[in-house]
Amino acid sequence: MGEEFQQKLEGYVEQIAQYHDPAMQGLARALLPVEEFEEKAAIALAKEGKFQPTKEEENHFFLIQLLHWFKTSFKWVNSPSCDFCASNTHHIGMGEPSAEDLQFGASRVEIHSCELCGTVTRFPRYNSPAKLMETQCGRCGEWANCFTFYCVALGYNARLVLDFTDHVWTECYSPYLGRWVHLDPCEASYDTPLLYEKGWGKKLNYVIAVAKDGVYDVTKRYTRKWPEVVSRRNLVSEETAEEVVALLTAIQRSKLEPEELDILEQRDRQEAEELSGAQASPETDQHLPGRQSGSKEWREVRGEMGVQHIESDRSFCPARLCADEHVGKIYQAIGLLCSQERSTAEKELALLHDLLIKLKRQPFRARSAKLESTDETQLNFLQSKGGAAWLDGIGMKQASDGSGGMQVTLKEPPGKAALALVTALENVEKVTKKLASQDMSSLQLMLQGRRLCGGLVYATGEQMPSGTASAAFDGHYSTKWEEPGGAKGVLVGATLVYHLHGNASQHIVGYDLTSANDCPERDPLDWMLEGSCDGGKTWQLLDKRSGELFQERYERRCFIVAKESQFPCSVLRLQFAAVRETVKTSRLQLSSIDFYLHN
């Protein structure tokens, strides 16, 4: 049995050797939208108030953007579409690999029959990253294989992680965090190692990571039930498993320089301490979902739909800073612009939109726009009070070019300006549509320009890494707070707590909620807003809603707090008792939340 265990791992050692082909790595880097990742990473850092990030921070957040991109770029295949008519197919057996299949590591070839025309379609299970960059499809094996390769090609210390109960994912070492980080490209899941045991309900046994510099048994990272896991580790004795892992690691490291070995051995000791202490760590209170990738029927057969979590006393995720000063400035600029006659407002919105688009097309680190002296209308607008407010809101400044024109350049750090630019562009487009429809009711609080900014927000749950609570306050319609535990009644529902900056006490006159990009069933239906003037010890009702329906995606709805309910509060609490379709899901999501103060 020891030989079989070793041979299985040796196959993966051979597989990851392909990741280090210089020509293939060069092709990968050429295919990836690196500058787009860099800008999105800078925006993500700015959302956390990191406007002058270190290189380690930039690399870490870049990796998260790669994960997001891969999830939307790679295609999951339950059964391939028919080669002849593109209809659905079903699996009927296995076929013989061709010479080309074998060239790209596809020793297994599935045969599928079209449900409409009966044509047979072959589905080779490729192992070659070069081929997977071309096909961009498969199941977890192909996903993790190609994603891990991309990580290596971009210079990350990455491992392919093999779960013997039939799943594969990735780990990357993060100098920023000083540890290994779990990444599952199929689920776009980041740093949630208990996803499989707690979320999917998997009965793990062996979880082995394979890299150029060694083979590692990392099972303890993925369980808090080690005694149960050990009882299922019966392929080989624990001593034999350790010997095989040590032997393969020694072979992998045999040609490394002493300096490299010293670094690896230090990292090994650090990881050993982490893994040995993992079982003493408390199990996360975070709600972890069942498997999302693959058809429902396939997930049900595998028993990976997950388990229902019912918490009577839910804890909160870490505090998130709302680095949203730019949102307040942009809302003030919107209010100033819309206070003019409608025709003037529409004209200036069009000029502003042109400028924002021009800036958006520029490299984010050197963003600028030049206006010639002949651009008289736009020059006049930018030199007005309203134009100056917009430039300040998006982190830009103006200067004369000496010939009657103007140069618009960065005033704020690139990431901060990039964050504000997206917010401005999305809101300009939204306000333009509202003006055209002559229905400004949903913007009545926004136009007053007194948005609450700079607070600390806590939530009972969030979808890492992008669906955090602070995503609801960044001013972007395209991002969202996603609460996996969802809304199941006030006592166990999704809750968001907002501490005003500096513990200031303010009268809240109202708030806006904006629906997210998809899944209407996750819209909030019933909720209440409360306030506290003693730091959250006691609460007083500000507003309560039930049966509220969002009719569209990215729909902003305005809710006024009755005057008799207003009082000076330093903490706000939103509790969601139900989502739109509680039978289908309890998961809650919102694109944005805005609180407003007295004028």
Is the domain of 424 the same as that of 502? no
Helix H or strand E encompassing 599: none
| Position 71 in a domain | no
In degrees and rounded to multiples of 5, residue 256 shows phi and psi of: -85, 155
Measured CA to CA, the distance from residue 582 to residue 11 in angstroms comes to: 46
Query: DSSP letters of 172-224?
Result: EEETTTTEEEEEETTTTEES-TTIIIIII------EEEEETTEEEE-GGGG-S
Residue 487 lies in a domain: yes
Q: Confidence class of residue 375 from pLDDT cuts 50, 70 and 90?
A: confident
Q: What is the DSSP letter of 313?
A: S
Does residue 431 sit in the same domain as residue 462? no
Give 504-558 pLDDT, tens digit per residue. Answer: 999 999 999 999 999 999 999 999 999 999 999 999 999 999 999 999 999 999 9
Whether 248 and 370 share a structural domain? no
What average pLDDT does this structure show over 293-316? Answer: 72
Q: What confidence category does residue 296 fall into, taking pLDDT thresholds of 50, 70 and 90?
A: confident
**Both 413 and 439 in a single domain?**
yes
- Mean pLDDT, the chain, as a whole number? 93
User: Which pLDDT value is given to residue 243?
Assistant: 97
Q: Which tokens in the block code for residue 265?
A: 């051995």
Place of tokens 């999917």: 200
CA distances from 292 to 5, 68, 195, 295 (A): 30, 15, 11, 8
Q: Are residues 489 and 589 in the same domain?
A: yes
Q: How far apart are the first and last CA of the chain?
A: 75
Q: For residue 427, which phi and psi values (nearest 5 degrees)? A: -75, -35
- In a domain, residue 86? The reply is no
- Region 328-338: mean pLDDT is 95
Reported as type and span, the H/E element at residue 418 is helix 414-437
Q: Which of 406, 424, 447 is the last residue of a domain?
A: 447
Domain-located, residue 55? no
**pTM for the full predicted model:** 0.90
438 and 384 in a single domain? The answer is: yes
Tokens representing residue 465 in the block: 């890494």
DSSP β-ladder status, 179-184 and 396-400: unpaired
Q: What pLDDT, on a 0 to 100 scale, did the predictor assign at position 367?
A: 96
- Rg for the chain (alpha carbons), in Å? 27
| 584 and 441 inside one domain | no
Examine the pLDDT at 371 and tell me if it is beyond 60. Answer: yes
One domain for residues 436 and 347? yes
Output b/e per residue, 462-485; b: 16+ Cβ within 10 A: bbbbbbbbbbbbbbbbebbbbbbb
- Evaluate whether residue 132 is within a structural domain: no
Number of neighbouring beta carbons within 10 Å of residue 238: 10
| CA nearest to 503, candidates 532, 468, 540 | 532
Residue 309: burial class (beta carbons within 10 Å; 0-12, 13-18, 19+): buried
Tokens 């301490």 label which residue?
273
Residue 356: Cβ within 10 Å count: 20
Query: Are 237 and 267 within one domain?
Result: yes
Phi-psi region of 305 (alpha: psi -120 to 50; beta: other; left: phi over 0): alpha
Is the predicted pLDDT of residue 2 greater than 60, yes or no?
Answer: yes
Greatest Cα-to-Cα distance within the chain, rounded to the nearest angstrom: 82
Question: 464 and 588 in one domain?
Answer: yes
Q: Identify whether 94 is part of a domain.
A: no
54 lies in a domain? no
Q: How confident is the model at residue 312 (pLDDT cuts 50, 70, 90)?
A: very low
Asked whether the predicted pLDDT for residue 493 surpasses 50, the reply is yes
Please state the rounded mean pLDDT for residues 572-583: 92
| 168 bridge partner residues | 162
Q: How far apart are CA 423 and CA 327, in angstroms?
A: 7
Higher-confidence residue of 174 and 285: namely 174
What is the CATH classification number for the domain harbouring 218?
Answer: 3.10.620.30
Helix segments in 339-384, DSSP class H: 342-360, 376-382
CA geometry: angle at 543 spanning 328 and 570, to 5°? Answer: 55
List Cα–Cα distances, 486 to 286, 529, 578, 587, in angstroms.
11, 17, 8, 4
Report how far residue 379's alpha carbon sits from residue 357's, in angstroms, rounded to the nearest whole number: 16
- Check residue 584 and give its pLDDT: 81
Answer whether 503's CB lies under 8 Å from 569's CB. Answer: no
Rounded mean pLDDT of 142-152? 98
Residue 351 has pLDDT above 90, yes or no: yes
Spatial separation of the C-alpha atoms in residues 230 and 205, rounded to whole Å: 7
- Summarised one tens digit per residue, pLDDT across range 393-437 is 999 999 988 888 999 999 999 999 999 999 999 999 999 999 999
Question: What is the number of domains present in the chain?
Answer: 3
Domain CATH code at residue 569: 2.60.120.260
Q: Report whether pLDDT(283) > 80.
A: no
- Residues 379 and 462 placed together within one structural domain of the fold: no
Place of tokens 């010479």: 99
Among 421, 447, 473, identify where a domain stops.
447
Residues 408, 537 within the same domain: no
What is the per-residue pLDDT across 43-69, written as a single tens digit (0 to 9) for each? 999 998 999 999 999 999 999 999 999
- DSSP characters over 527-578: EEEEEESSTTSS-EEEEEE-S----STT-EEEEEPPGGG--EESEEEEEEEE
DSSP state letters, 440-500: -GGGTTGGGT-B--S-EEEES--BTTTB-GGGGGSS-TT--EEETT--BSTTTSEEEEEEP
Q: Which domain holds residue 489?
A: 453-597
Average of per-residue pLDDT across 484-488: 75
Of 473, 488, 463, the C-alpha closest to 589 is 463
- Alpha helices, H only, 74-167: 99-103, 129-135, 140-153
- Domain end call among 447, 474, 503: 447
Provide DSSP, 44-88: HHHHTT-SS--HHHHHHHHHHHHHHHHHHHSEE-SSPPPTTT---
The set of catalytic residues is 140, 167, 184
Question: What digits encode the pLDDT tens for the residues 94-134?
Answer: 999 999 999 999 999 999 999 999 999 999 999 999 999 99
Cis amide prior to 465 (ω within 30 degrees): yes
* 477 located within any domain: yes
Helix (H) or strand (E) holding 409: strand 406-410
Return the bridge partners of 347, or none.
none
